[in-house]
Every structure is written in structure tokens, then in C-alpha cells.
Structure 1
Amino acid sequence: MDEVRIVRSLDEEDAERVLALAEEAHALDGAEALSEQTVLRVRHGSPEGTARFHLLDEEGDLAGFAFAEKSADEPDSAELLVAPGRRRRGHGTALARSLRADAGAAGVRVWAHGRLPAAQGLAEALGWHRARGLLKMRLRLRGGDGAPVGLPEPKPSGAVADGVRVRAFRPGEDEAALVRSHAAAFADHPEQGGVTLEDLRQRQAEPWFDAEGFFVAEETGGPAARGAQEAQDAGEGRIAGFHWTKVHADGAGLTDGEPVGEVYVVGVAPSWQGTGLGRLLTLAGVRYLRDRGLPWVLLYVDEDNRAAVRLYETLGFEVWDGDVMYAPGD
């Protein structure tokens, strides 16, 4: 078995090989092999130089791949996959050990998508433990008769009605304010908290981007606005919250190719949390996806975020699947 090659960026040929390998694994396993963030790093690299790509070739073909996003203070966030026809040859172990050897002082954590038995078996064989989990939830938007399902009306609280107005995202105008609001809303989140203007623009360039399905709650400065000036002073900008929806053209495992929707990201700035703005924005996006005629909507949520899980359950979402993050033992 050849050694793992670690690079800071991928040339066009290697990027194509990695994306083809991910598609092959997805087709076999029924779960996404790589997250959207990793796919974007494969395509565009990391402007901050924080990406590490681990490539394992066997007999001239790409047999396995791993990716790690490095952070100064947190463990590396990583993913790995092995070519379907080259599994059970020690490639997964080699990639996991390469990720660990290349990690900083804080170590590494590796995501496994879809709770696949093979991933669990590899973690157990390495002595790694479960460090974090994401729940994958879904909601049916169309009944058996094809009619749209009923959803609650998005009714704003008094503070929200007086303090914000919900509108569609304006490309070319809202980017800077959105990034500030995003950073404030996810200040303690290991992935979402680091979204940059370049990350936002890369997603805007994706085929699925839909400004009409990107809802922002713009502060109006009304008398019931909670801490608007304090939010400005803290750098949160004028966007109190947002809900970014997404459509998966391939059905995301919920259909045989019919597009489905996703509650992609919902964020609320700290000064607006507890006002009901998150529920309002979530409903606005879900109703938008339903009115487009989509049969399902899905979302990901940290399993430890009980408040968010409860919110989604009250809207009718149910747990469908999940992802698991593993970390080396002490």
C-alpha cells in the first residue's frame, strides 16, 4: 500500500479524482461521502491556508481521501472516505492515522456521515470514541394525495413585529452584514462560527443558490427592538436573523431524484434570541419550500441543542438519520 500524500491544495486533476470518488461512495453507501464545506474546499481551496488534503493512491488510482480543516484553538475537523472497491485493505486506518499525525496540539475529530456500520467499526478498531452527533430530521410537505400539507402561520411576537421586517436577501448589498450577523449568531459553533465573506460568495456561486429563498430579518429600529444599538456596537450589523433555504436536485436520499428542500441555516443574533424570531424565520422558509411544490424538507441539528430540536419537533419534523463525529481516545 502506498503512503498517504498530504498537500495544502489540490490541482485540477486531483480535485476531479476526489469528487469522482465521493460520487462513487455516495452511490454505494446512500449517504453523502463529503460535506458541502469539504466539497467547496476541494474545488476552491482554503484562502486562509487552513486546509490539508490527504490522498492515498494504490496502483495509480485514488484509493482513499481525507480532508482536515485546521484551527488554532480547536481540534482539526476532518472527513475521510475509501473507494468502494478498495475497502477492507487498511486504507481507512492509514488515512485516520495520517490525520492524527498531521493534527495540531488540540488533536483531530472525524465526521462519519449516515451512521454507517463500516465507519463505526473503523472507529472501534482504532479505539476512537463518539465526540459529537448531528441529527438529520425531515418533514413531509406534500400529503399522499399530492396536496400541500398545512403549516402554522408565522406569527411574530410584539418585539419582532415592532423591531424587524423579513425580506429576501439582496445579493451585492447584504453580504457584509450577513457575515457579521452569522458570526454573532454562531460565536460558539465549531463550523458555522468561522464562515467568511469568501465562504458566502462561494455558496452564492453554486447552482442551488436562490436569493428569494434566503430570508433575512432586517432591524427597523422600532420601539420594541431588543438592544439594537448594543447590537450595532457589538458588530452584529443590521440583520437580526436569517434563514437560508436550499434545494437538493437529487432528492438527498428522500426521493428517487425529485428535488427536496432543506432548512440550510437558521441564525439569530444574540440580542434577538428568545423573541420567537427563529421560529418565525424557520416557518417562513419551510412554507416557501412547500409552496414551490417540494415533497420534503430536511435539516441538520446538533443532537445536544435540545431547544432547537424541540422547536423543529413542534413544527412536525422527525429524526430520520444522523452523522457522528469520532475522536481518538486519550
Structure 2
Amino acid sequence: MTHVRTTESLSPDEAAAVVALAEAAGAHDGVAPLSEQTLLRIRHGASAGTARFHLAAEAPSTADPAAGGAGPAGELVGFAFAARADGEPDSAEFVVAPEARRRGHGAALLRSLADDAPREGLRVWAHGRTEGAVALARTAGWTQVRGLLKMRMRLRADERGVPAEAQQHGGGAALPEPVLPEAVGRQVVIRPFRAGDDEHEWLRANAAAFADHPEQGGMTLADLREREQEDWFDPAGFFLAEETATGALAGFHWTKVHADGAGLADEPVGEIYAVGVDPAWQRTGLGRALTLVGLRHLHERGLPWVLLYVDEENRAAVRLYESLGFSVWDADVMYAAR
């Protein structure tokens, strides 16, 4: 029997248990079950009304179901998170401990998410097209409503630190020079991010560049500050294209280094974390130049791979990354009830 407790906050012990469960599942499945944003909410908490945490435990058979209220008894066997915004379906993801699977805990978490969802409904992310996630979605009668492609490119030609199953994907990248078009180069300079000075202007440029993107475009100052406190944050790998006449940002390329190899290697690998261009500067070649600036930075660090995430419907971005040498590696899928 699965006992699921729903709450808007986690204690430090609960947060630590959830992170440990997610790490165990990621090591078992080869793909992280929870997004970075969810992990930040687990560790730092969330504003009132914006998040719901579902904690699943395997209740002892002798438990009195009428007792209720005290939370789940026994070890944590599953966890789900739902991000909530007014007028929108909940956006959720969940994970079940590897040793506790095939006992109905995943179905119980899905029911808990659905029962707790607002009238607008529920959508659930599955990270990686794993057999279990596909089977559970099919059983629940859910369909795909969004796809997030995971793409990768080899940066280093040797095989050091590269798993055997990944060695078939060719040699290292031959990266072009990140040359700005002449008209753009006269108006824009590319420089690193300055923590403490650039936050507010970056938030403006990010919101403009990702006005149609539900996650990236909604980043707040608190979200940015949380990332600045992460071990991976490096302003030297956060590139801004600044208008020389006004000081406004025309675009940016934020890179990230995954110390754990992100399932690609047994050493650190890079990520194109976010590339954004203000609408006034789109279709000028600035986005391609910024992308190459960040890629060359990661290449110069000696990293074997670089990865990225891109909406599969964003064909222009997919074509750009393919032209640079990226190929599709996996995908995250969002499901919804029919």
C-alpha cells in the first residue's frame, strides 16, 4: 500500500531524502529524473502557492488508514513535484526508488498529482524515453504534448573518459571562428557576465528573448541568485552581447559544466545552458556568433562533450545546432491526459 502526503514545503531531512532518492534513480537509469528547477525548489523552497510536493512511502500492512494526517510511515519510496501557476495546468515530474518499482507507487503518485491538480489539469514530464515512463503513460492513457530534444556534440577527439557506447559518434568538433557580422560588430561587444551588476538587465533581455518559453522566460531575480550560488556557476562562461551605445543587452550565451559527466562521460562535460537574443537583434547572425563563443570556451577547457536541450518544434534552433555538428541523443517528453 502506498501512502502519499502532499505539502507545500519540505523539512531539511525530507529534502535530503528526496535528493538522495533522485540521485539513486539517476545512477540506476542513466538519466536524471528531476530537472534542475525542481531540485532548486527542493533545496531552497518555493513561494507560497507555486509548488506542491508529494512524498510517497510504503505504508505497513498493519497501518490504520483512519489515522491519516501524520504523513507517510516507513521509508521514502517515491516523490513528485508540481509547479503551479494561475490559469495553467500543473507542470509535474516524479521519481520512484529503483528498488521499489513495480509495486504501484508510480501510479499512486500520478493519482495524487491528478487529484491535487487545479481545474486547468495536469501535465507530467518524463526525462528520457525510458521504457518504464512510456509504459506508465500508455497505461494511464496519456499522450505527448511537448518534446524537449537532448542534443550532443563531441568537443575532444580522443576517447579518454568517453563510455564505449558513445565512442561511435566521431571525432572532436572543428569549430568556426565566432565572427560577428560587420554591421553587428560595430554596435555590439561580447564580454563576460559581472555578478552584482548585470542581473536586472539580463533578466530583461532573457524575458524578451524567451517571451514564449514557459520556463526560461519566467526566471526571476531569486531564480538567478540561486543559480549564482551553485557550484557550477562560472561568470567567465556566461557571455553577454552588450550594445556599446546604450549598455543594453542584445543577447547572451550562458554555459554550464556538469562535474558528474551528465551520463556522457566519467569526467566533466559542457552544456549550452541558454542562448538568447533580444527580438530586435534576431536574424542578424548574433545568435550563431554567441553560440560559437560559448562552444569555443568549453572546447578550450578540454571537455570531451557538450550537450543542450531544445524544443523539438523549434526547427530553426535545431537546424542551427545540427549545422554546428550536434545530433539528437535523447528526449524529455511532457504527457497530458487525453
* TM-score (ref. length: structure 2): 0.90
Residue in 1 that maps onto 2:323: 314
Is 1:10 aligned with 2:10? yes
Q: The residue matched to 1:3 in structure 2 has which SS? A: strand
Q: Equivalent of 1:156, from 180, 190, 194?
A: 180
Is 1:139 aligned with 2:149? no
Please give the alpha-carbon distance, in whole angstroms, between the structure 2 residues aligned to 1:303 and 1:57. 36
Please give the alpha-carbon distance, in whole angstroms, between the structure 2 residues aligned to 1:47 and 1:239. 29
* Percent identity over paired residues: 63
Q: CA deviation at 1:48?
A: 5.1
Is 1:181 aligned with 2:205? yes
Residue in 2 that maps onto 1:27: 27
Please give the alpha-carbon distance, in whole angstroms, between the structure 2 residues aligned to 1:145 and 1:132. 34
Q: CA deviation at 1:33?
A: 1.1
| Structure 2: 5+ residue stretches without partners | 60-73, 161-170
Counting only pairs closer than 5 Å after superposition, residues 1-330 of structure 1 correspond to structure 2 as 1-47=1-47, 49-59=49-59, 60-144=74-158, 149-221=173-245, 238-255=248-265, 257-329=266-338
Structure 1 residues 261-302: Cα deviation after superposition (integer angstroms, max 9, x where no partner)? 000011111111111111111100000000011011000100
Please give the alpha-carbon distance, in whole angstroms, between the structure 2 residues aligned to 1:198 and 1:138. 30
* TM-score (ref. length: structure 1): 0.92
Q: CA deviation at 1:183?
A: 0.8
The Cα RMSD (Å) is 1.5
Structure 1 residues 46-85: Cα deviation after superposition (integer angstroms, max 9, x where no partner)? 1354011011111410111000100113221110011111
On the 8 A contact 2:33/2:95 being kept in 1, the answer is: yes
On the 8 A contact 1:148/1:293 being kept in 2, the answer is: no
**Range with bigger deviation, 238-247 or 142-151:** 142-151
On the 8 A contact 1:252/1:260 being kept in 2, the answer is: yes
Aligned residue pairs: how many?
314
On the 8 A contact 2:155/2:305 being kept in 1, the answer is: yes
Please give the alpha-carbon distance, in whole angstroms, between the structure 1 residues aligned to 2:49 and 2:225. 18
Please give the alpha-carbon distance, in whole angstroms, between the structure 1 residues aligned to 2:274 and 2:48. 23
Please give the alpha-carbon distance, in whole angstroms, between the structure 2 residues aligned to 1:20 and 1:73. 33
Structure 1 pair 178–126 and aligned structure 2 pair: CA distance change class (3 A): same
Residue in 2 that maps onto 1:225: none
On the 8 A contact 2:2/2:105 being kept in 1, the answer is: no
| Structure 1: 5+ residue stretches without partners | 222-227, 229-236
Q: The residue matched to 2:118 in structure 1 has which SS? A: coil
Please give the alpha-carbon distance, in whole angstroms, between the structure 2 residues aligned to 1:148 and 1:80. 36
On the 8 A contact 2:2/2:108 being kept in 1, the answer is: no
Please give the alpha-carbon distance, in whole angstroms, between the structure 2 residues aligned to 1:319 and 1:328. 27
